Homo-oligomer: A and B are copies of this chain.
Amino acid sequence: MTPRQLKAFTAVAQTLSFARACERLHMSQPALSLAIKSLEESLGGRLLTRTTREVRLTPEGAELLPQALQLLADWENARERLRQRFTLQRGRVTIAAMPSFAANILPGILREYRELHPNLEITVQDVVQEQVLELVDSGRVELGFGFEPEARGKFAFASLFVDRFMAIVAPDSPLTGAGTVSWTQLLSHDFITLQRPSSTRRLLEESLAAKGLELRIAHECHQLVTVAYLVAAGLGVSVVPSLCERQMTAIGIRCLRVQRPSIHKAVGLITRQDRELSTAALSIVSFIRERA
């Protein structure tokens, strides 16, 4: 019992005529006749009674007809759904991105990408770096964006750019003059950071420890925005990924380059090493890489 035979049967059963069914199927009468015959033989009995003037359904044929229509419809639906996935007319991509990336890079990308494939459903979770890794690892999201993870082997990482951390100070700070600032200058001020665990915080501490510098922390916040407003209010200084530069300057904060050591870290796409990406996810990834 092949789809071809079933299509032939439904066409004859619905038109009650081999001749009319032929037209619908774009087939010759003999081919149709043989298709029905072979179907009947494979099932072990007659589905249609053919008198020379009339074609009728047998009771078995009448039982088969709705089932055949259902089977063919299911078949076609499954096929069509998958085709749409591959042609990006349908699909779903789940993304986790660290907040700075989600806020400063993703919106522009997604707006442009959406115009290309408006029917793709894209969900973004902005969560901290650690959760990005967790979501990617558990398979709950397909794509992650964040700093390069340390645990290689588990994750595949494709760098998009290297983020060089920058100092942020109040607009009226005496440090603003040069546009560049050294760590010794910076650390002489009250320091505002994110709370642990935070990848930015950790990176900062590790880099300073390596140079024998010590961090004197005046305030700890959960969110970068809070840090920013504390800095803007003149309560201290901080160091943030340059990803946030636009955000910071919008608030009125001054961003300065820090040197000796300059802290930098690759930012990019994080996926599971042993997991395939869907066509839709691949399409977004290649779009992002082209754009960069």
A56 contacts B by Cβ under 8 Å = yes
A23 contacts B by Cβ under 8 Å = no
Contacting pair A71 B63 (CB below 8 A): no
Residues of A239-292 whose CB lies within 8 A of B: 274, 276-279, 281
Complex-state Cα separation, A142 to B58, whole angstroms = 12
Contacting pair B60 A86 (CB below 8 A): yes
Complex-state Cα separation, A196 to B281, whole angstroms = 81
Q: Specify which chain B residues have a CB less than 8 angstroms from the CB of A79 in the assembled complex.
A: 1, 42-43
Given A58-B278, A59-B276, A60-B279: A44 and B87 interface contact (C-beta under 8 Å): yes
Given A78-B68, A83-B44: A56 and B2 interface contact (C-beta under 8 Å): no
Of the A-B pairs whose beta carbons lie under 8 Å apart in the complex, a sample of 20, sorted by A's number, is A1-B79, A2-B3, A3-B3, A42-B79, A43-B79, A43-B82, A43-B83, A44-B87, A45-B279, A49-B276, A57-B276, A58-B278, A58-B279, A59-B142, A59-B276, A59-B277, A60-B86, A63-B82, A71-B74, A71-B75
Complex-state Cα separation, A79 to B75, whole angstroms = 15
A67 contacts B by Cβ under 8 Å = yes
A7 contacts B by Cβ under 8 Å = no
Q: Which residues of A contact B (CB under 8 A)?
A: 1-3, 42-45, 49, 56-60, 63-64, 67-68, 70-71, 74-75, 78-79, 82-83, 85-87, 142, 274, 276-279, 281
Among candidates B67, B75, B278, residue contacting A1 with C-beta atoms closer than 8 Å:
B75
Q: Specify which chain B residues have a CB less than 8 angstroms from the CB of A45 in the assembled complex.
A: 82, 85-86, 279
Q: Specify which chain B residues have a CB less than 8 angstroms from the CB of A63 in the assembled complex.
A: 82, 85
Q: Specify which chain B residues have a CB less than 8 angstroms from the CB of A281 in the assembled complex.
A: 59
Name which of A45, A82, A85, A279 has the most chain B CB atoms within 10 A of its CB.
Answer: A82
Q: Specify which chain B residues have a CB less than 8 angstroms from the CB of A71 in the assembled complex.
A: 71, 74-75, 78
Complex-state Cα separation, A279 to B62, whole angstroms = 13
Contacting pair A59 B278 (CB below 8 A): yes
